[in-house]
Structure 1
Amino acid sequence: MPLQKITPEEILYKSIKVFRRRGYYRTKMSDLAKEVGLTKGTFYHHFESKEDVMRKALMASIQWFETSLFSIAFEPQLSSKEKLEKMSEKAFKAFTDNEGGCIFANTILETAHVEDTFIKEILRFFELWKQALMEVFKEKYSNDQLTDVVQQIIGDIEGSIIIMQLHKDNLYLKRALNRSIEML
């Protein structure tokens, strides 16, 4: 049976699922190779190291969130409420479709006290999220309040993702997203 070709994008998508489920340190290159149906040696043909895979997985995730979710905040034809409702729907789906919650929060919690290898990518994700929410809430809050409100919303959502994972109940995230809409 001939080997199926797999694109680098497909490899990253499947790798993200493994990293979300297992974490960075518990994931081995052999786990990633197995997930995509490649031998470990063939997998190394595509990526130099596990760190390389993780960095590119985070960058691909950032790209997805930026184009599919955060960009909604800048759609001029939508009201602030419509933007936030649409963003909330996409966020709920993104954080609940696969096991593991938020790859960025998981990675920073797992690695921050050991190494700062992925700090740049994780900071980028949260900065883009902050900018998107600031765009949505800018008419409701003063500049002095805006940063605090947005940081509170992101903290509430990320905390709810952790509790959602603990209790295996998506309602925690749904409630946090609804609380953000109520703040408009």
Structure 2
Amino acid sequence: MPIQKVTKEEVVTQALFLFKKRGYHRTSMADLAAACGLLKGSFYHYFSGKEALMKEVLEAVHTYFKTKVFVIAYDESLLPRQRLEKMLAKQIRVACSTEGGCLMGNMAIETALVTDEFRPAMRAFFEEYLNALVHIYTYKYEPKKARQIAEQALVEYEGAWVMVKLTDSSHYLQDVLERALVRFDTHDSNTH
């Protein structure tokens, strides 16, 4: 008998928390069902299996970031530097709000060499993230250079999460934000 009645969205949210904390492969269907207050068999009422659930989680994360975080890059009411700072600060806040760090980065590391199932969703997420950064940096740099700098910021952010997990120190994330802003501020007008 289920402990509580839950919606599909609540299942996705609980799965997100578990996948961030424990990883995809270390999270069992029984773990997911228990986190939702369901019997394992009842869980299949919502999703056919863990892969289907993970695809839904990745889509939900992408949608959230697209509508709540990446959209900041295109907010014409803010100056470009303000957009960069606000977008990266919000991304860091969101990822730090629950245990486990960056779900997309975690899943890319854990699953990319094992299964191709999740690659398209993760690639789409990171491409949209990259495009948001490029959009901001093109206010200061020509497109090719803006993309290089955006790629550097994205890679630094994901790498910072590795160090956060190893050291339990979040200063690496703040450093990423500060370096991204310095690169924006120190643009040489002769390079445009």
**1:161 CA drift (Å):** 1.1
Residue aligning to 2:124 = 124
Structure 2 portions without partners, runs of 5+ = 185-192
Query: Does 2:96 correspond to 1:96?
Result: yes
Query: How high is the TM-score relative to the length of structure 2?
Result: 0.92
Query: Does the C-alpha gap of structure 1 residues 29 and 2 become closer, same or farther in structure 2, counting only changes over 3 Å?
Result: closer
CA RMSD of aligned residues (A): 1.4
Partner of 2:163: 163
CA displacement 1:24-60 (0-9 Å, x = unmatched)? 1111101111111111111110000000010100000
Is 1:68 the equivalent of 2:68?
Answer: yes
Structure 2 residue identity aligned to 1:99: E
- Once residues 108 and 88 of structure 1 are traced to their aligned partners in structure 2, the CA distance between those partners, rounded to angstroms, is 20
What is the CA–CA distance in structure 1 between the aligned matches of 2:134 and 2:77, rounded to whole Å? Answer: 17
1:36 aligned to 2:36?
yes
Instruction: Give how far 1:4 is off.
Output: 3.3
Does structure 1 retain, via aligned residues, the 8 Å contact 2:134–2:150? yes
Contact 1:130/1:150 (8 A) holds in 2? yes
- The 4+ residue runs of structure 1 with deviation greater than 6 A are none
d(CA) in 2 for partners of 1:5 and 1:139? 49
1:46 is aligned to: 46
Question: Partner residue of 1:11?
Answer: 11
What is the CA–CA distance in structure 2 between the aligned matches of 1:93 and 1:36, rounded to whole Å?
Answer: 25
Structure 1-normalised TM-score? 0.96
**Unaligned ranges ≥5, structure 1:** none
1:148-171 CA-partner distances (Å, limit 9, x unpaired): 111000000110011111111111
How many residue pairs get matched?
Answer: 184
Q: CA deviation at 1:100?
A: 1.0
2:189 corresponds to: none
SS of residue matched to 1:122? helix
Residues 72-105 of structure 1: CA deviation (Å, up to 9, x unaligned):
1111111011111211221111121111111111
Q: Is the 8 A contact 1:95 1:161 kept in 2?
A: no
AA paired with 1:10? E
Q: How does 1:75-114 map to 2 (within 5 A)?
A: 75-114=75-114
After superposition, the C-alpha distances for 1:92-121 in whole angstroms (9 at most, x for unaligned) are 111211111111111111111122110000
For 1:113 and 1:144, how far apart are their aligned partners in 2?
29
Shift of 1:3: 4.8
The one-letter code of the counterpart of 1:60 is A
Partner of 1:135: 135
Paired position in structure 2 for 1:149: 149
